[in-house]
Structure 1
């Protein structure tokens, strides 16, 4: 069938190329020797009026032999035409999408019409009429115009930029100086009755552990690294355990001393300095063992948190295992609760200097601070999580220091006449 069609066309072509006729404008139309029909390119004006489906064609504007003449005509025409506002109108139904946006299809019958939609969070477009937006790398974030990616801000308790660090440093140094002064005063009055009360060696250990607790705050400040992440939790937990163990030893000493005052009591053999020292050593050793297991199984390490805030990277310490972290807190809380319970029981004993009432207040402050710290710690992120822990360390350590040692300092410095064995025995008898 196809062969037949081609045969007919071939036979008719020699007759068609001899055709000669006039078009509607009276021009002679002839085929050339190649059988082609040379025609001019004619430009018409077309005008659209409202409520009309078809345009009205006006008389021809110009006639051209080829496309090159059309280009030359347009170049001359553009120089002669004066456009309103000096801009050439475009055959568009919307403006081009600027950088920071991408094209989106509209519900329109015209396929050339589209809308401009801002790039999503974390994406940019830096070209006009962009089809899509491009996602920034993990360590970068779009600028405010969403045209380029910039490095994310790093967040941690910086010594250089964060005023909160300056506050913590000032408070920690001030408390360290205060603790050193108290240690010096106690050493100067080492052999006096008020210092000897409830074992001056345990008091010295308690003061030293409180001083080290204030100093370990420096491990929480600055940019964290793997070694500081391990040292900060281990040091604070061990120093605090020694402090709470010392308070527990003092409480047990007061409790046993009260029991031993009864005639024929079997508690007399337990009222020794060795008992207090053994309690401090044993309770602290348990915490050290917990820390060793924690570091052996899953030690804390530095990590970059990129998910909490999309525009910044939080440099923080991962605790390794939550069980280890809450085990050291739970053990300290257990010892503090035991100390509080025993001290509360013997707080009203008729003694010349009953330290139990001050231990009760100190453990009340300690427990209140750390119970309030846990929900605050879990509800914050980034540097503020570290700030909550630092605040808890400073507050609880200062509470123990003030509640237990300020009454003794008052007697040593303001009422030295009460710091004698005779006066203390007279007060006890009365």
Structure 2
């Protein structure tokens, strides 16, 4: 297959063509020519789109699909199509399936189901058996089968010694350990950020302390054990500072932030809309400002959609009993592009996650594999139900104003567009 991209503005700091508008010729999945004007030929598949921008493929490090066990929420096949049309060439899939991904057979199932798609699927294995937090899972076996990290999705490691042992053990094979930042005793039965809004609305609060106390513990353990620790989806100002201080000490810690925690605050709760019920909860304007600053100064490494499809039976219910989670792939770029500059977005969606998860990164250059995301950073629109491609419709960004859209991807010698 020969594909010609016309007038594409290249956003790739590692490329000699960075911030230049060029034609790009792709032959059998490899970039063969980049020039000001490449002549069209009848055998070429021509891609000409309004204000086309192209970057190295985006990698979402926290995606849930449901299959196996919760196919009514999302299937692997449809989920990977949604990811591709949303601009993602790679996704790391959480182990919160039924059964959970806690052994090599479960890892191999996911990888086999994902063969042949434009978007690559990288499984995350559980840290503990059955994700119960009691006994460590078969980490090395899962890594040998293709798992790229280990963590119990949205569940904290309550046993201090278990996390200590996991960090020590994983060093034998350079494994990456996740620790979700939530002290369950402090959080209690809370359903929203503890503050003025939760008090006004009569909702049980989750203090910022519940996250920060857990991060402080995790960092103490990491300092003792060594190893690689990833703290997913942080949400508070103090959390940013704790991780910044740890990095200054030289600890091998990375972290991510969910897009909705960058863009929205707990002011959204006033309608008791269950789609705004997420983990960690929406915080305050002060927290979102600190998170955005943490991205720009390099404290926060990764941005994720934290895409978590939930079926209508578990969302169209009273706020306090609704399941946590929002879908986020389809709205990811438009939401991010409304609060961040392109350079930071690409760095935190592509460069940093590939480095931290040890995924080979390409460059937009001649003789490199074409692993590309397409987007238009201009144009405002209201995100509506028609923009949702997922089986589940629980989007926190419904009826929100977004800026710019993803056009799709080229990866694995496949072109997938959302036009």
Query: TM-score scaled by structure 1?
Result: 0.22
Structure having the higher strand fraction is 2
Query: TM-score scaled by structure 2?
Result: 0.22
Higher relative contact order (CA 8 A, sep 6+): 2
* Structure of larger gyration radius: 1
